[in-house]
Amino acid sequence: MADFLMVPDLGSDGLGEVLRLSADVKAEPTRYAGRLAGKRVGLFFEKPSTRTRASCEVGTVDLGAHPVVMKQDEVGLGKRETVEDVARTLDRYLDILALRVFDHQNLVGIAANAEAPVINLLSDVSHPCQALADLQTIAEHRPLEGTTVTYVGDGNNVCHSLMLAGAMSGMHVRVAAPQGYEPAADITEQATALAGSSGGSIVITNDAIEGVGGTDVVYTDVWASMGQEAEADARKALFAPFQVTEGLFSKAAADAIFLHCLPAHRDEEVVHEVIEHERSFVFDQAENRMHAFKGLLLYLAGSLA
């Protein structure tokens, strides 16, 4: 059965189908109510969460499945018990395993030892469920193919998944990051290859104005992610030229939209006026985390007996 650790795991057709299901379940939720009755979805959180926890638990319940929520202090993944043993045990109880972890390799280990589909709810490498919601939100405003999206800031897990998802969808993805904080070279290489097949493109720049100029979507994230708190002060000085101000946002297309995966540090990576702008859709984006997760569950459950 298919796992969803990175966006390309779906393939282009699978990504399109998940996005179609996500939009359909948002438009007609009652049509899908109870569709996964009798299924059991494990939701494991090594890292705390607001949107992921609420969207996944509510989405699971809406589809009629039963969520089993577990935290690291209960499971002790890789500490109290090996990754392999946790995977082989949970696989006996659950139909789908979804995990939010620090170390991506723990997800790889879970997937290698479980027959149930494994979903990455966030790792240090990738945040693919966020990318599904990102594309769903963008698609509510314009066709994905040919759209230019500019990610401004740290080339982190969110950036990685946006690059891959955008490249698979025929989008032109630009990343404007400080020198030394660009996305990982292997992700950039993979996204560039995917873009070559879809008609999209990948551009990496160290100039925020160059990156944002004429773009259709401006996207940013916090400068220091969870677990990087010790670097926060040092990063502020380096990232200051990449703050999404009203001036920087004005360099984008006249109808450009603003996105942020949240939580936001207002007046740090983005000023209050931009996050509250009439063309800011960050809370639609947050809502779509739930619809996108439903779409993903429906897609993966199609392979279950």
261 is catalytic: yes
289 is catalytic: yes
80 is catalytic: no
pLDDT for res 294: 98
Q: Which of 51, 127, 260, 291 is catalytic?
A: 127
Is the CATH code 3.40.190.10 the one for domain 7-127+289-301? no
pLDDT for res 55: 98
* 89 to 75, 110, 112, 153, 300: CA distances (angstroms): 11, 10, 13, 40, 20
Tell me which residue has tokens 């007046």.
267
- The reply to whether 7-127+289-301 and 141-280 are identical in fold is yes
216 is catalytic: no
221 is catalytic: yes
Q: Which of 72, 130, 136, 190 is catalytic?
A: 130
Q: Which of 62, 95, 100, 134 is catalytic?
A: 100
* Cα separation, 173 vs 200, whole angstroms: 8
Specify the pTM.
Answer: 0.96
* Domain residue ranges of the chain, discontinuous segments joined by +: 7-127+289-301, 141-280
* Cα separation, 159 vs 154, whole angstroms: 8
* 196 to 128, 171, 189: CA distances (angstroms): 21, 11, 11
Cβ contacts of 17 within 8 Å, gap of 6 or more: 299
Q: Which CATH number fits domain 141-280: 3.40.50.1370, 3.30.2320.50, 1.10.274.100, 1.25.40.10?
A: 3.40.50.1370
Q: Which of 221, 243, 260, 291 is catalytic?
A: 221
pLDDT for res 73: 85
Per-residue pLDDT of the chain (305 residues; tens, 9 = 90+): 589 999 999 999 999 999 999 999 999 999 999 999 999 999 999 998 999 999 999 999 999 999 999 999 889 898 899 999 999 999 999 999 999 999 999 999 999 999 999 999 999 999 999 999 999 999 999 999 999 999 999 999 999 999 999 999 999 999 999 999 999 999 999 999 999 999 999 999 999 999 999 999 999 999 987 666 677 788 999 999 999 999 999 999 999 999 999 999 999 999 999 999 999 999 999 999 999 999 999 999 985 54
pLDDT for res 305: 44
At 103, list the tokens: 């170390």
Q: Which of 261, 277, 285, 291 is catalytic?
A: 261
